[in-house]
Each structure stands twice: as C-alpha cells, then as structure tokens.
Structure 1
Amino acid sequence: MTSETAVAFPFVLLLILLIVQFGVWQHATHVAQVTAMEALASTRVYGGSPTAGRVKASSMLARLGHSVLHSTHVSVSRTSDAARVEVAGVAQAVVPFLRLPVNSVAYGPVERFRGDGR
C-alpha cells in the first residue's frame, strides 16, 4: 500500500498544482481584460488620447497585475472613428514548466462632440 501511495502522490500533487495554475491564469486573464477596458475608456472619450490610455493601463497593471501578470505589453491606438487597446503578458507560473500566455483586446468607437446641430 505504501509503494502505491508513493507512486500516486506526485501525480495527485501535480493535478492540484495544475488546478491552482488554471485559477491563476484565469485571474491574470481577468486582470488583462479589466486593464484593456479601463484603458479603452480613457482613450476613446472626447479629448482622450493613446497616451492617456497607456497611462491608465500602466496604473491598472501596477495596482492589479503585478503579482499575476508578467512580461506585459500594452498597445493603444486611436483613429478618428475607433480606439483599440491590447494587453498581453504571461500568467504567473505555479507549475515551473508552464508559461501560459494572456491576451485581451478591447475596442470601441471614439466619442465625438456634435453640438446642438444633431
């Protein structure tokens, strides 16, 4: 019985670590999504800019993602009609041999002031 336990224990431990790794990856994905949405909101508002989006993304990542999201890259673009934010990174590794990528994209129309002329 003890030899069977000694053989099965590493597999059970690996299974538990994989479940925890999945939870960390899900959390990192959520952090990337929230960061992308907040950066998009700062970019697409009337008077907003890609620089404002990058600043907001950096602020959000510093507050939320420093422990679960690593090697982050934020790309912000804005045209006269639309704004787009992409946040990419790697989830914190619980299992040493896993590097799980995280990627989130948010886009939307740019707000415009139209005045009373409709």
Structure 2
Amino acid sequence: MNAFLRRWRDDRGAASTQLVLVVPVLLLLALLIVQFALVWHARHIAQYAAERALAAARIKDATAADGRAQARRSLAALSSRILTAPSVAVDRTAAHTTVRVGGAVMAIVPGLTLHASGTASGPTERITTPAGDRS
C-alpha cells in the first residue's frame, strides 16, 4: 500500500499539465477551422459579385462603371463583414469583358491575414451581321 501511495503522489498534477498544454492547441485548431471556412465563404461571395458585375457590364450599351456599381451592390448585400476592403476591377473592351473582385477576409485568428478573390469573364454583347450576307 505504501508503494501505491508513493506512485500516486508522483502523478499528482499530471492531468493539469496535460490540460494546460492540450487545450490551447485544440482551441487554435478550432479557430483555424473557422478561419478557413470564412475564407471559403468569402471566395464564394467574391465569385458571385464578379458574375453579377459581368452580367451588368457585358450588355450592349453598358459600361465598366455599370459593372463596378453592380459588384458594389452585391458586396453590400452579402458581405458587410466577411470580405473587408473589397476591390472591384472591370476591364471592358469591344470583344471581351473581365471582372475581378477581391478583398481581405475577416480575421478570426490574430495575426493571420488571408485574401479571397473571384474572377468572371465573357464576351461583350454586340450586334453583328452574319458572315456572307450579300445585300
């Protein structure tokens, strides 16, 4: 019995030490999971805003400013806190329109700065005549 008591005294505090070491690691792991889920969500928001802006900017009489305005409206409706400091770039030519939306993702883990972006591109609508038309 004396040996059992001596062994029991040697292990005192081991559970507290293990708890102090393991809990912060588990907490950091949980925060990282939430942070990367937010990055995934922010990418979807940026992609959606880019696609909506492309739809607005590529129509026949639209301008790049129309696309930027639509992207800003989409971002305001969806990501007031998730996608911070968003940027919208619309490149519209006579043949092709490209929209890029990006921004920083809300930080859950201190000191970790992540970015999300979305890109959409497609042909600019224009009126054409069929090839070989003889008038």
Q: Provide the rounded CA distance (Å) in 2 between the counterparts of 1:56 and 1:81.
A: 20
The residue that corresponds to 1:45 in the other structure is 59
1:61 to 71, 75, 80: 75
Identity %: 38
Question: Which residue does 1:96 correspond to in 2?
Answer: 110
Unmatched segments (≥5 aa) in structure 1: none
Aligned position for 1:113: 127
Provide the C-alpha distance between the structure 2 equivalents of 1:50 and 1:70, rounded to a whole number of angstroms: 22
Cα root mean square deviation, aligned: 1.0
TM-score of the superposed pair, with normalisation by structure 1? 0.94
Q: Displacement, 1:26?
A: 0.5
For residues 7 and 61 of structure 1, the distance between their equivalents in structure 2, rounded to whole angstroms, comes to: 41
The C-alpha deviation readout for 1:46-105, integer Å capped at 9, x for no partner, is 212101101101100100111100111111110000001111100110111111011221
Aligned residues: 116
2:21 maps to 1:12: no
Shift of 1:113: 2.3
Q: Give ranges in structure 2 of 5+ residues lacking alignment.
A: 1-14, 131-135
Runs in 1 of length 4+ with deviation above 4 angstroms? none
Q: In the alignment, what sits opposite 2:93?
A: 79
- What SS does the aligned partner of 2:90 have? strand
TM-score (norm 2): 0.82
| 1:70 matched to 2:84 | yes
CA distance in 2, matches of 1:41, 1:8: 50
